[in-house]
Structure 1
Amino acid sequence: MQAFKNGPFSSKSRRQILAILAVTSLGLVGAVGIAASTIAPAHAQGATFPVDELMAKEALPDIVQGKADAPITIIEYASMTCSHCAAFHVETYPVLVKKYIDTGKVRFILREFPLDPLAAAGFMLARCAGPDKRDAMIDLLFNKQRYWAFTDKPLEALADLVKQTGMDQKSFDTCVNDQALYNKINEVRDRAAQKFGVNATPTFFINGKKVAGEMNPQIMEKELQPLLKKS
């Protein structure tokens, strides 16, 4: 599980991020942290929130997988540069899709919770791909995370990777320089931090119950099976 820091980056971290942005002409500025006074206290593992409250309108429209009337709703807050989030999407998410989403038992929503500007850029590219292709872009970025997120020139690697989807350099530059989209992605993150006490990724809400940390197939089964028995 990767933690969200309640405050601005250190000067060293800020310099490193700005250096990355300068090299690639990425027009996104500002630290990912939120002032501590605006953060709700972290809610304990297992805290429960009303699903209607969790499903309230966001700054960006939810991309929903599965049937609207599925008995289980899972909302995941993830960061594109979080290795634990990538592990979930590579190892557990395919099982979730096959066994629960495609069979009408679960509706699943992934929401943006970027831990750094690079993660925000990844989410921006997924949104720029369009609603029908957003999840496929998310899958690509998580599956290939180590090839772009942990390299010397991550944004150059990211640009090369998304060319596989048909996105050219001009479209890439236009997308990652969209300040309005950047702000909306951070609004989604900020609401999760302030309203639901999300402070690390991945964090899941399963029918309103908070489950923080990487979820392998066994943990997922343990969470979902009792809910299906009740439905």
Structure 2
Amino acid sequence: MIRSLSRRNLLSSLAAIPAVALLAACSDSGEKAEAQDVKPAAPSDPTKPAEPAKPAAPAAAKAPEAQGTVDMTAVLKPGALPDMQLGKDDAKVTIVEYASMTCPHCAHFAETTFPELKTKYIDTGKARYILREFPFDPSAEAGFMLARCSKENYFPMVDVLFRQQANWVGVNNTKDALLQIAKLAGFTQESFEACLTDQKLLDDVRSVQKRGADEFKVDSTPTFFINGKTYKGAMSIAEMSAIIDPLL
């Protein structure tokens, strides 16, 4: 459960967040690969020249196993905050991601998988993508609040905060680090503090998180709901494609 913080101490709390606070709730989708049995090569015939090795064909990615199912009609009902969406409403595939701004696995997905997911499926009208806030700590709450205050620049702000995660998560003074990033995005000192002292926005962000946990059993990030199936952990574009392609 997220510790309740009032608007009076959210800003001050950002100045002293433990470096590893609450990041354990992030999950990792990867399983350790098992070593393959290796057999020694047969000795070559010295009377015949060796043939050049042929490159192995890339193995097709296997779709990760779903961790459960969910009623997408219920998932897509409006919540405390309007959904932030990319893609067409009538796309055949709907992807809802619950993420935390301080989760390293969420940042890894945002940097390594999402750009190609957007190009291959979202921009082409095949899928729509919805990002929902699931903060585990005050720093993540602040990051999402700044993204919401960016209005039409919500997704660019999220992208910057994920890419700059190492520069503001777990540092000595998170408030100052976030302020420097926010200024590059057009915030002033005044608009920055006004955003992070907006009690209604803070309550709404927490409400999105609480609804995800209570109604849809989200307990780690990133968690994805894709056309009624639940997937936990950051996935590669090959894994995402293996899930999405059969749905098209």
Q: TM-score, normalised by structure 2?
A: 0.75
Alpha-carbon separation, structure 2, partners of 1:83 and 1:108: 20
Q: 1:183 to 1:165 in 2, by over 3 A?
A: same
Distance 1:80 1:99, change over 3 A: same
SS in structure 2 opposite 1:104? coil
CA RMSD of aligned residues (A): 2.3
Which residue pairs with 2:86 in the alignment? 65
Q: Tell me which residue corresponds to 2:191.
A: 171
Structure 1 counterpart SS, 2:94: strand
| Structure 1 residue 46 displacement after superposition | 2.8
CA–CA distance in structure 2, aligned partners of residues 111 and 63 of structure 1: 7
The answer to whether residue 68 in structure 2 is matched with residue 47 in structure 1 is yes
Q: Displaced runs of 4+ in structure 1, greater than 3 A?
A: 6-9, 22-25
- Across the two proteins, how many residue pairs are aligned to each other? 198
Provide closer, same or farther for how the CA distance between residues 220 and 181 of structure 1 changes in structure 2, counting only shifts above 3 A: same
Does the alignment pair 1:211 with 2:211? no
Query: Could you tell me how far apart the structure 2 residues matched to 1:186 and 1:223 are?
Result: 30
TM-score normalised by L of structure 1: 0.80
1:126 aligns with 2:117: no
Higher helix share: 1
Alignment partner of 1:81 is 2:128: no
Q: Which residue of 2 aligns with 1:3?
A: none
For residues 3-32 of structure 1, the C-alpha deviation after alignment (integer angstroms, 9 at most, x for no partner) is xxx4769xxxx9xxx79725759xxxxxx9
Question: Could you say which structure has the larger radius of gyration?
Answer: 2
Kept after mapping to 1: 8 A contact 2:109/2:234 = yes
Q: 1:61 to 1:7 in 2, by over 3 A?
A: closer
- CA displacement 1:119-169 (0-9 Å, x = unmatched): 000000000111x11111101101111111131111210110111111011
Q: SS state of the match for residue 113, structure 2?
A: helix
Structure 2 residue aligned with 1:39:
none
Q: Could you tell me which residue of structure 1 aligns to residue 12 of structure 2?
A: 21
The one-letter code sitting in structure 2 at the alignment partner of 1:173 is: E
Match of 2:117 among 68, 86, 96: 96
Q: CA deviation at 1:45?
A: 4.6
Q: Which runs of 5+ in 1 are unaligned?
A: 1-5, 26-31, 33-43
CA offset at residue 222 of structure 1? 1.6
Contact 1:73 1:107 in 2 (8 A): yes
What is the identity, as a one-letter code, of the residue corresponding to 1:108? Y
Tell me if structure 2 keeps the 8 A contact 1:77–1:202.
yes
1:155 corresponds to: 175
Distance 2:199 2:11 in 1: 17
User: In the superposition, relative to structure 1, how do residues 20 and 184 fare at CA in structure 2: closer, same or farther (>3 Å)?
Assistant: closer
1:37-85 CA-to-partner distances (Å, cap 9, x unmatched) read xxxxxxx953111211110011000011101100000000000000000
1:198 is aligned to 2:218: yes
1:227 is displaced (CA, Å) by: 1.2
Distance 1:64 1:87, change over 3 A: same
Q: Distance in 1 between matches of 2:171 and 2:216?
A: 33
Partner of 1:116: 137
The AA in structure 2 aligned to 1:54 is: V
Distance 1:179 1:192, change over 3 A: same
Equivalent residues of 2:10, 2:138 under 8 A apart: no
Query: Percent identical across equivalent pairs?
Result: 44
Q: Please say if residues 20 and 153 of structure 1, whose CA atoms lie closer than 8 Å, have aligned partners that are also in contact.
A: no
